Structure 1
């Protein structure tokens, strides 16, 4: 699939880098990646004492030492020699802003980040990138074995912008032979009891309304081969509810999209998608953003 030509991979000089490099290799051909930028961003590029003890050969300035360390890792894990790569270590007081600025400068189509489950780290940079990146983002989890997905879940709200996500999902589903499973989370509104109906009765009304929305959506955009699952959220968080459904259906990837109400908003995730990002550190997650729609907002962001 020739969709993402240039990818930027964020590294943090921990064991997670080893995992991320190995998993990235699995996706290179499928995603059509032709150039990789490996980037480490930190407030201070001084090489940690522990790394210097283990690698006494690193006597160059911090940025050069870190770049050499990353290049050694790529050779260690047999990163394809035919791939065009650039390695850089950047310093910035606000690592997220610095990382996103480099994504803009390099005009990348995809950012690949790791999500930790047991390794030390807050994951705040990956979460920030997922929310604000000017391009699509692939989050690869720590413990799941490398491999392409066979069942992809798409949380859906049936807005017109969701059509882009379905189109993209159908393409990768067809090329991988993977099953595509749309999922819609519906809720019973507060105050339903004033209608004189029980919670169960009103939940059926909400489900029927969601089914009608889905039917109109697939007819409008010609996605007739898909069947949606409708999940009642009866109190737990939206992100947690969708992640539980992903586990139940044995999905091995979640496909999300940015909200599409306006071009200026397309860079940011909707509230439900953001909650899924925050809740999920066990399943690979591809956040698809239509790159051209986000760049104007992204440029304005850095002029503020």
Structure 2
């Protein structure tokens, strides 16, 4: 038996918010890997219903092709849906997850966001490509504008469930909520958690007569004390936390480098989205990380409904 943890009821309600998920597929060779990885984490994330969505610019066959190949009776969208349904049936053969395929046309970002709202999705899942051809612009836009949490899966083969979670943190209420969510993954998958805090070194450090390294040491001491206060204030058990001076303008690459150096296979971050506003505010560090990270799976936690004002303004719904 595991000992009780602070806010235990909240821990499980946090992950239970992922009952309904949506996975974007593009008919590339990466689809099979995304389905496999999603199936592997479906239980721990509490996914009960999964929408597979494919968005194409034009689903109609050109008239000359219809005339030349009259045997192509099935509409293109039905053919795509059939392909995805077969792939999903294979990936989720031993999972109790209800899968539904959506094939739509239009702008990819706007269409995915629209259907995420219509289906009241709790979690958006997207692939990040590295060696395989494809743009990461969709993933970046989803991270900024999604009204729910977003999970980015990579094309890298390896462990399907996380074993070492890296949690960048600033010791705010966002960090506490992220820690609470991490506990479900830790319990279910026997993973370990490492915090990461990037502290600032004031640009005017030279006026103190100290070198940057000397003043960085002072700032690290203050950061460690802030970590202790964070644990005490929220009545949390201690856990490992790394401290590094922030590399100005490169925090995304810095977090990725640290995650790779410590063998992390999931980066867990809380967003700073504002509900009830048309503004999109993911948080500068998270934005930089989404831009830089094609290598390690990443889960960005949002309170459901964030950026709904943006969607209302965008779609006039």
Q: Which runs of 5+ in 2 are unaligned?
A: 1-14
1:270 is matched with which residue? 283
Structure 1 residues 18 and 77 mapped into 2: Cα distance closer, same or farther (>3 Å)? same
Aligned length: 297
What residue number does 2:85 align with?
71
Aligned pairs (5 A) from 1:16-35 = 16-35=30-49
C-alpha deviations, 1:238-272, integer Å up to 9, x for none?
A: 11111111111111110011115776489642000
TM-score (norm 2): 0.85
Change (3 A) 1:227 1:282: same
Match of 1:60 in 2: 74
> Any stretches of 5+ residues in structure 1 without a counterpart?
none
| 8 A Cα contact 2:151 2:297, kept in partner | yes
1:137 to 150, 174, 182: 150
Where 2:157 maps in the other structure, the secondary structure is coil
Moved more, 257-266 or 282-291: 257-266
Q: Is the 8 A contact 1:134 1:267 kept in 2?
A: no
Which of 191, 194, 215 is the equivalent residue of 2:204?
Answer: 191
Contact 2:39 2:95 in 1 (8 A): no
Secondary structure of the residue aligned to 2:21 is strand
Partner of 1:209: 222
Aligned residue number for residue 162 of structure 1: 175
Distance in 1 (alpha carbons) for counterparts of 2:193 and 2:237: 12
1:296 Cα deviation from its structure 2 partner: 4.9
The offset of 1:166, in angstroms, is 1.0
Residue 14 (structure 1) aligns with:
28
Deviations 1:139-195 (A, max 9, x none): 111023252111100011112222111111123212221111110112322222122
Normalised by the size of structure 1, how large is the TM-score?
0.88
Q: CA deviation at 1:75?
A: 3.3
User: Following TM superposition, by how much is the alpha carbon of 1:116 offset from its aligned partner in structure 2, in angstroms?
Assistant: 1.0
Output one character per residue of 1:48-67: Cα deviation in whole Å (capped at 9) or x when no partner.
9xxx9xxx986422222211
State the alpha-carbon separation in 1 of the partners of residues 102 and 273 from structure 2: 33
Quote the residue 1:85 is aligned against: 99
| 2:268–2:298 CA contact under 8 A, matched in 1 | yes
Task: Give how far 1:78 is off.
Answer: 5.1
Matches within 5 A, 1:206-285: 206-234=219-247, 237-259=250-272, 264=277, 268-285=281-298
